[in-house]
Amino acid sequence: MVLKGCIVTIDALGCQTAIAKKIVDRGGDYVLAVKDNQKNLSQAVVEFFDTAEAFDYHNVVVQKSVSVEKNHGRIETRRAALVSDVSWMDKPMREHWQKLAAVGMIEFVQEMKDKVSVERRYFIMSAGVKTVAQFARAARAH
């Protein structure tokens, strides 16, 4: 199967180095959700974004986008952040993922009457995902 020009999105279960390699080998790019099945990677990405946000992304080049939708009595806000410099990540971890080029975070805020829920999801992605718009679209389309 040829994946040239395609961005493959996979949930955390598919966040595996062998899968990332197969996607890249077939000419595609990936946006992989990161959770505790890749504990060290997950911890590194979460800590990176927590620290970057605490310092308002000072000295970090970040692309951000926000979208707001209102329907069915609720307001849903999606905030996406994409950082294309992964040099902060341990070199062995970074090299483990073929063509790893960026990390991303999407925060979902749902407001309904008096109730507000916030959820964050974290991702790694390959070199072909260059903009926060591409990232947000791929994550949402998944």
| Bridge partner list, 88 | none
pLDDT for 85 equals 95
Each domain of the chain, given as residue ranges in start order, spans: 7-141
Give just the sign of the alpha carbon dihedral 88, 121, 5, 28: positive
How is residue 57 written in tokens? 């992304």
Average pLDDT of the chain, as a whole number: 92
Predicted confidence (pLDDT) per residue in 82-113, tens digit: 999 999 999 999 999 999 999 999 999 999 98
Answer yes or no: is pLDDT of 1 > 70.
no
Predicted pLDDT of residue 11 = 83
